[in-house]
Amino acid sequence: MKTDFKLLVNGELIDGVSTFDVVNPATEEAFAQCPRADEAILNRAVAAAKAALPAWSALPVDERAGYIGRLADAMEARIEDFARLLTAEQGKPLDQATYEIGGSIYTLRAFAAMRLPEQTLRSENGGTVIEHRTPLGVCASITPWNFPVILLANKLGPCLVMGNTMVSKPAPTTPLTTLLLAELAADILPAGVFNVVCDQNELGPLITAHPDIAKVAFTGSTATGKKVMASAAENVKRVTLELGGNDAAIVLDDVPARIAAQKVYAGAMANAGQICVAIKRAYVPTAMYEEFCDEIAKLADEAVLDDGAKQGSTIGPIQNRMQFEKVRGLIEDAKQRGRVVAGGNVPDRKGFFIPPTVIADLDDDAPLVREEQFGPVLPVLKYDDIEDVIARANDSPYGLGGTVWGVDQLRAMDVARRIDAGTVWVNQHLAIDPTIPFRGAKQSGLGAEHGLAGLMEYTQAHIVNAVALEIEQA
C-alpha cells in the first residue's frame, strides 16, 4: 500500500512543513505519514486557486465537465488502491470502502452531467430579464472522517463544473485518500484548479476567515459548523453546512417485528454507526417491543467485529480514539439507566472496537437518546400513540433525516411528512443520490448539497434586466 503522500498546491505535489502519523484504527498503529501545511502553504494554495479562476471559469462548461469525467475515470482505474487506503485510515470493511469510492466516482460523473441554463424571466414589450449563474470564486471544502472521499466528491463536482476553483482540507485522521485523489488530479486538472492542504486541526479557522475564499462547503459536527458560520460572517462568505443529526426511526404497527429489526439494524450500524443520517433512536410500538428487541439482538450478536481489511468483517472499529471514548462513555451511562439487549462490553484488544450495542427502556432524556452518539449503539424506545411519537421524534435541536417503516405506505408517508427534517425515507434508508437535494433542517445544516439546488450553491445568481433605449426624434 502507498505510504508516501504529498500536498497539492498550484498543480505541484509538494512536501509540508512537517509530517504527522496517520493511525489505522483497527491496530492503533501509524501506517503512513501525512504532510502538514502551515499558514504560508495555505496562502499559496488560495493564491493558486485565485490565479487559476479566470481561465477555468472561461472554459465552456462541457470542457470543464470533461476534466471532471477524466478525474472520475482515473479514480475508477485505481478503485482498489483507494478502497484499501480508505479501510486502512478509516476502518470500514473493504466492501463498504469500495462502495464509497464507487459512489464518489458516480457522484463526480453525475455533477459533470448537470447544467444550469440561463433563464429568461420576462420578455415583453421590448424588455428582457434574464437570470444566469456565475461562479463564486475560490471555494473551500472542509470534510470529516466518516466518509472522506464521497463527502469531498459532493463538493468538488459542483464546484468545478460551475467554474469555481477549490482548496480542500480533509480531516486530520483521514487525509490520505484525499491526497491520493490530489495525486491523480495533478496529472489531469490545470494547475491551481484543485489544491489540497492537510493539518492537525489548525487550518480550519484560517480557511473560514480567509479574505480570498468566497465560499466554505463544510461537513462536520454542529459545534464546529457554528464556528464556521460565525467566522464566515466577517466577509459574508457563502456557506454550506452539513452537520450532525439524531435521526429517529418510527416503526408502525403493521410491520412484522423481524423485518423491522432487520431494517433498523442495518440503518443504525452501517459504517459502525458513523453516518450523519444513521438511525440514532428507534421508536417501536409497545405491543411488538420485546419481539423487536429479541430480533435486533440476534442481528447484533451475529455481527463480525474485526479489522475491515479482514475477509468476513461486517463492522469495523470507530475511526479515532476521541470518538471511541465518547461512544464508550455514552454506553456506560446508558447501562446505568436502561437494559442492555445486545453488546455493551468493549473487547479487550487493540483497536477502537465497539460491538453493536442495543439499549432498551431508556427515558427520553437519557444522553444516549438526546445526543448524537455517532457509533454502533442504538436506544430502542416504546410508544403507544402516533401523535406522541411524532412529537418525541421532533423534540430535538437536530433535523437531518429520519425513517418511517410501514406496510401501509400512504400512512407511513403521512407520518414522514410531519417529521421536522431535511429528508425522511419511507421503507428505505440512505437513498442518497447526487440528483436529489440533501439538506439539514434546524441545527443540522444550512443550504443544500446535491441536485440542481446543490449546484446553485456554487453560483451567484445574476440578473440582467434590459429594455430598449427610446431615442426621441428631433
Query: 334, 345 in Cβ contact below 8 A?
Result: no
Catalytic pick among 139, 159, 198, 276: 276
Pairing of strands 138-142, 215-219: parallel
Calpha distance 6→340 (Å, rounded): 46
Report the residue closest to ligand NAD, judged by CB.
204
- Tell me: does residue 242 bind ligand NAD (CB under 6 A): yes
The radius of gyration of the chain's CA atoms, rounded to the nearest angstrom, is 24
Closest CA to 20 of 271, 144, 198: 198
Helix H or strand E encompassing 79? helix 79-90
| Residues 151-180, mask of contacts with ligand NAD (x by CB under 6 A) | x-----------------x-xx--------
d(CA 426, CA 416): 7
Binding mask 256-295 for ligand NAD (x = CB under 6 A): --------------------x-------------------
Closer CB to ligand NAD, residue 406 or residue 445?
445
> How far apart (Å, rounded) are the C-alpha atoms in residues 106 and 108?
6
For this structure, is 159 an active site residue? no
Pick 274 or 459: Cβ nearer ligand NAD: 274
Q: Minimum distance between the CB of residue 464 and ligand NAD, rounded to whole angstroms?
A: 35
Question: Are 188 and 71 a contacting pair, CB within 8 Å?
Answer: yes
Shortest Å distance, C-beta 279 to ligand NAD:
13
When binding is defined by CB under 6 A, the residue of 35, 103, 244, 267 that contacts ligand NAD is 244
Which of 75, 76, 421, 6 minimizes the C-alpha distance to 247? Answer: 421
Amino acid (1-letter code) at residue 261: A
199-228 footprint of ligand NAD as x/- string (CB under 6 A): --x--xx--x----------xxx--x--xx
Q: Give 370: exposed, middle or buried? Use CB within 10 Å, 0-12, 13-18, 19+.
A: middle
| Sequence-distant (≥ 6) Cβ neighbours of residue 366 within 8 angstroms | 333, 334, 337, 338, 379
Vertex 216 angle, CA 211 and 219, to 5°? 150
* Given 242, 295, 449, 457, the catalytic residue: 242
Q: How far is the CB of 430 from ligand NAD (least distance, A)?
A: 12
Is 3 a binding residue for ligand NAD by CB under 6 A? The answer is no
Among 97, 142, 288, 305, binds ligand NAD (CB under 6 A): 142
Cell of 361: 427502556
Q: CB under 8 Å to 365, separation ≥6 — which residues? A: none
CB of 151 to ligand NAD, least distance (A): 6
Question: Do 404 and 252 contact (CB within 8 A), yes or no?
Answer: yes
Among 91, 135, 245, 344, binds ligand NAD (CB under 6 A): 245
Q: How many angstroms separate the CA atoms of 174 and 299, rounded?
A: 29
Q: Which CA distances in Å does 298 have to 31, 222, 413, 428, 443?
A: 35, 34, 29, 21, 35
Considering the complex, state which of residue 105 and residue 142 has its C-beta at the smaller distance from ligand NAD: 142
Other Cβ atoms within 10 Å of 332 Cβ, number = 11
In 3D, which of 133, 138, 141 has the Cα closest to residue 117? 133
**Number of amino acids touching ligand NAD (CB under 6 A):** 29
Does 437 bind ligand NAD (CB under 6 A)? Our answer is no
Give CA–CA dist 400/389, Å, rounded: 17
Cα(374)–Cα(118) distance, integer angstroms: 42
Of 10-18, 236-244, 280-288, 362-370, which segment contacts ligand NAD by CB under 6 A? 236-244
8 binds ligand NAD (CB under 6 A): no
| Interface pattern 363-402 for ligand NAD (x via CB under 6 A) | ---------x-x-------------------------x--
Task: Pick the binder of ligand NAD from 91, 144, 163, 308 (CB under 6 A).
Answer: 144
Among the candidate windows 12-20, 35-43, 76-84, 238-246, which touches ligand NAD by CB under 6 A? Answer: 238-246
For residue 276, indicate whether it is catalytic: yes
Nearer to ligand NAD, 76 or 420 (CB): 420
Q: Is the distance from CB of 6 to CB of 24 less than 8 angstroms? A: no
State yes or no: residue 440 binds ligand NAD (CB under 6 A).
Answer: yes
CB of 210 vs ligand NAD, minimal distance in Å: 11
Query: Considering the complex, what minimum distance in angstroms separates the CB of residue 259 from ligand NAD?
Result: 27
Q: Which residues are catalytic?
A: 242, 276
**Binding interface with ligand NAD (CB under 6 A):** 142-146, 151, 169, 171-172, 201, 204-205, 208, 219-221, 224, 227-228, 242-245, 276, 372, 374, 400, 440, 445
